Chain A
């Protein structure tokens, strides 16, 4: 059994002054090389937990161990060499270059003036490289995009050479390619450096596919932990996370917004074009092969052509049409459907 880097014993987190407990009785551990995602609805205490694990907020009750030693016994310098944090705080150091910002992460290693030794500089460059931010080193932080800034902040945390990396919603404010990139980066880091990486996120899909383990918080201060697959299989994920009106597709492992059922779609065709056509139809309420329901509306679609350009021929009731794009077909179908649904408009 590998030794845990971080562990909590009946940890309760929250705010003493406001007399508010957000997380109750949490027991969990982080092991080397693990990527753990913290999921939970807004207000469930994700940030509070991250800040508590990082020592910013003292625990309300219970104990928190780093490398087997109580966090209370760490002096600030030791703690900073053990845990690195990436927060959601806005940074406004516009006149700082990325290199200098990352160099701030050497704080627990430098002298009183913060002078960088040759080794410090080397660690800074390595951290930039590990975060994929080498090219940004000599640019002003104020001029970086959100995604670039996030990389630099991750590099800064790495420059502390921590064994544990805690990140509070590192993918918020990023576009989807940047989110994927961030997850890939963190995964690579955990695998290759043996650091334990713990992040909170709203990206369920990414967490389900990338995390080694998921910690789920619900709005009642309870928590559940396990591999993503475990949580999917025992239904915990659905129960504790889903708002009403969203379905979870256990087969695909993704969340679905159910559409009002309008009818059944029969699609003739093959390959990618067929699956994308079905996707578009489902989004508009026409599902293939629905059992146990009587369908008034039946939509027939035939796709012509095996490579682009395709042609879509469709029939709904006694209406027919053809379209050279999915968008056009959907628009035509919508028009017909609307005229079928509301044949008469009541006169006042």
Chain B
């Protein structure tokens, strides 16, 4: 019972920290806005400074919501991949979905020679450029997803699938590097800028699409909670306990591909959250039970994405750090700590 109450306490702390970080990310940035004013803006009350209202409503709120969704999506897809492949280092990127999205973007940015999309992209993040980025990375991610799901119908061995996914990733990266080599410096820079990852690309116009897909992916993921627990023992045992292996595998892959694909499309390839957060959730809750791990990873993922975003904005400065650098700097120590604490990652499933 003591254990149970401590888990409830931990859960409450997590929910509270998500709320706090959410407000903090609205308040901090190149211009600091007092907490009280933030609350007023959110409640629709009159505010002293009209500019603050605009900043919060037009820029910071969609960005914070995007971070919230992206963090949850990435960590859930990481958890699903780790359980499905029974590999502690699996993450949203293992199926080659991120690389596919990267190739899609690279084709648009680097190869669209003189086209309208390519030209506007170079002028920074105009609305049209933004949309074409999202569309092209969604197409790239979607294509890889379709190939993977097609293969998962035919391939029985889950390890083969994992390796194929990795190889797709390499092939897509090879395509990207060829395009980069043939392209001009400015466009390469634009691509690299995309590959840093960012939550600020999400606007109110596109947020609902993002939200819809993330919720769909999460529902699919949460729907397989019982099968995920059975898969902890491997596919042989899961089968013997009555799990429909192929169907479950397809659902999990669909869910993770949706989550990772849509997040990469809107926010760029964000690293480490997907790998690190599930481990953190396991250690914090000392559990392998997905009924606990799914919500825990979601909350932890959202907080870590919000925190990374706050740090990358460097509060009070005009400086902007690449988001991926921040997630890696925050994420790597977590994974190292987990490995050292448990001695053996395999054991911590």
Chain A interface (Cβ within 8 Å of chain B)? 51, 54-56, 76-77, 79-81, 83-85, 87, 89-96, 100-101, 104-105, 107-108, 110, 112-114, 142, 157, 160
Contacts and interface: CB of A to CB of B under 8 A. Distances in A.
Contact of B347 (A54, A55, A92, A113): A92
A96 B242 contact: no
B307 to A, nearest CB: 25
Interface string B191-226: 000000000000000000000000000000001011
Nearest to A93: B232
A276 B234 CA distance: 47
13 contacts: A55-B240, A76-B242, A85-B240, A87-B237, A89-B233, A89-B237, A95-B348, A96-B289, A104-B232, A112-B223, A112-B226, A113-B225, A160-B240
Given A92-B346, A95-B287, A107 B232 contact: no
A107 B244 contact: no
Question: Range of interface residues on chain B?
Answer: 20 to 34
Contacts of A95: 282, 286-288, 348-349
B219 to A, nearest CB: 12
Interface string B232-257: 11101101111110000000000000
Given A92-B86, A93-B232, A114 B226 contact: yes
A80 B240 contact: yes
B226 A94 contact: no
Contact of B291 (A79, A93, A107, A114): A114
Contact of A100 (B86, B234, B242, B289): B289
Given A113-B225, A113-B291, A89 B236 contact: yes
Contact of B243 (A83, A92, A107): A107
A79 to B, nearest CB: 7
A160 B240 CA distance: 10
A83 B240 CA distance: 8
A107 B241 contact: yes
Nearest to A95: B288
Contacts of A101: 233
B229 interface: yes
Q: Chain A CB within 10 Å — which of B225, B236, B242, B282 has the most?
A: B242
A87 B240 CA distance: 10
Given A51-B236, A95-B287, A160-B240, 12 more contacts: A56-B236, A85-B237, A87-B234, A89-B236, A89-B237, A92-B86, A93-B288, A93-B349, A96-B289, A104-B230, A108-B242, A114-B291
B248 to A, nearest CB: 10
A104 B243 CA distance: 11
A54 B347 CA distance: 28
Contacts of B230: 104, 107
A79 B244 CA distance: 11
A93 B238 CA distance: 13
Interface in B268-325: 282, 286-289, 291
B242 A142 contact: no
Interface of B: 86, 223, 225-226, 229-230, 232-234, 236-237, 239-244, 282, 286-289, 291, 342, 346-349
A134 to B, nearest CB: 19
Q: Chain A CB within 10 Å — which of B236, B237, B241 has the most?
A: B241
Q: Chain A CB within 10 Å — which of B230, B240, B286, B288 has the most?
A: B240
A332 B224 CA distance: 70
A54 B349 contact: no
Contacts of A114: 225-226, 229, 291
Contacts of A85: 236-237, 240
B240 A89 contact: no
Interchain residue pairs A-B with the least CB separation, the first 6: A80-B242, A114-B226, A95-B288, A85-B240, A94-B347, A107-B241
A155 B13 CA distance: 37
Contacts of A113: 225-226, 291
B235 to A, nearest CB: 9
Given A91-B232, A93-B288, A95-B282, A142 B241 contact: no
B242 A92 contact: no
Contact of A55 (B232, B239, B282, B287): B239
A113 B347 CA distance: 25
A93 B233 contact: yes
B40 to A, nearest CB: 41
Contacts of B243: 76, 107
A77 B240 CA distance: 9
Contacts of B86: 92
Contact of A104 (B225, B233, B282, B287): B233
Contacts of A105: 241
B226 A91 contact: no
Q: Chain A CB within 10 Å — which of B287, B347, B348 has the most?
A: B347
Contacts of B239: 55-56, 76
Q: Chain A CB within 10 Å — which of B86, B233, B243, B347 has the most?
A: B233
A145 to B, nearest CB: 14
Contacts of B289: 96, 100
A93 B82 CA distance: 12
Contacts of A160: 240-241
